[in-house]
Chain A
Amino acid sequence: AQSVTQPDIHITVSEGASLELRCNYSYGATPYLFWYVQSPGQGLQLLLKYFSGDTLVQGIKGFEAEFKRSQSSFNLRKPSVHWSDAAEYFCAVGDLYNQGGKLIFGQGTELSVKP
């Protein structure tokens, strides 16, 4: 069965430092991969997505993610974190053809930013 694992429940980084949030997936076919961000008490906002092509994808708010098929990973990165990036981040995998467009979400990684 498809699954998504975000190994880090909580990460703290200093403002201005670089960030990498890990995501590993288990999926039999070419995955459709997403990263979402959620501020407390709010809905989810799409940061970026990967379907095919260039394995390094750029998103909003200065985020990028790299798809590595050999490692079944889709890690999210940002070169310099801002205090406003503190939020919860969710990785998700979707199956366009076999699962009715459903997304399977990871457990989320909560990001705290130190001043």
Chain B
Amino acid sequence: DGGITQSPKYLFRKEGQNVTLSCEQNLNHDAMYWYRQDPGQGLRLIYYSQIVNDFQKGDIAEGYSVSREKKESFPLTVTSAQKNPTAFYLCASSRAPGQGVNEQYFGPGTRLTVT
């Protein structure tokens, strides 16, 4: 079955440590996205990538970094510079703009807790 996987489902880290969240898709989608979800705030876009080796900042990129070395993979690193990293992180993918409908397909999410 095609889909998006995120691992791990739950992640715990100490303050001051960097942590990398995994996102893999086998939908052959060109575009991938990272969102942060906090209670009552909907989804906020962190980074997105429309093609391999290219990515753009979203609305809340400070304290985060990404890479896109392979089409299937778009890992997100939460750095120690992120002031409030505890949240639910969602990865999504879609066909790239210009190829038609761009609904996004979401992974199951990773809940990160930093203490």
**For the complex, is B1 an interface residue (Cβ under 8 Å from A)?**
no
Rounded to whole angstroms, the CA-CA distance of A97 and B31 in the bound complex is 14
In the complex, how many residues of chain A place their beta carbon closer than 8 angstroms to a beta carbon of chain B? 24
**For the complex, is B63 an interface residue (Cβ under 8 Å from A)?**
no
Q: By the criterion CB–CB under 8 Å, are B50 and A101 in contact? A: yes
Q: By the criterion CB–CB under 8 Å, are B108 and A96 in contact? A: no
Contacts of A107 in B (CB 8 A): 40-42
Q: By the criterion CB–CB under 8 Å, are B109 and A42 in contact? A: yes
Which of these binds chain A: B12-20, B73-81, B95-103? B95-103
Binding site for B on A (CB under 8 A): 9, 32, 34, 36, 41-46, 49, 51, 90, 94, 96-97, 100-103, 105-108
Binding site for A on B (CB under 8 A): 4, 6, 31, 33, 40-43, 45, 48, 50, 56, 58, 88, 90, 92, 94, 96-98, 101-109, 111
Q: Using A32-B101, A42-B109, A43-B4 as known contacts, list a sample of 5 further A-B pairs with CB atoms less than 8 Å apart, ordered by residue number in A.
A: A43-B107, A49-B101, A101-B94, A102-B45, A107-B41
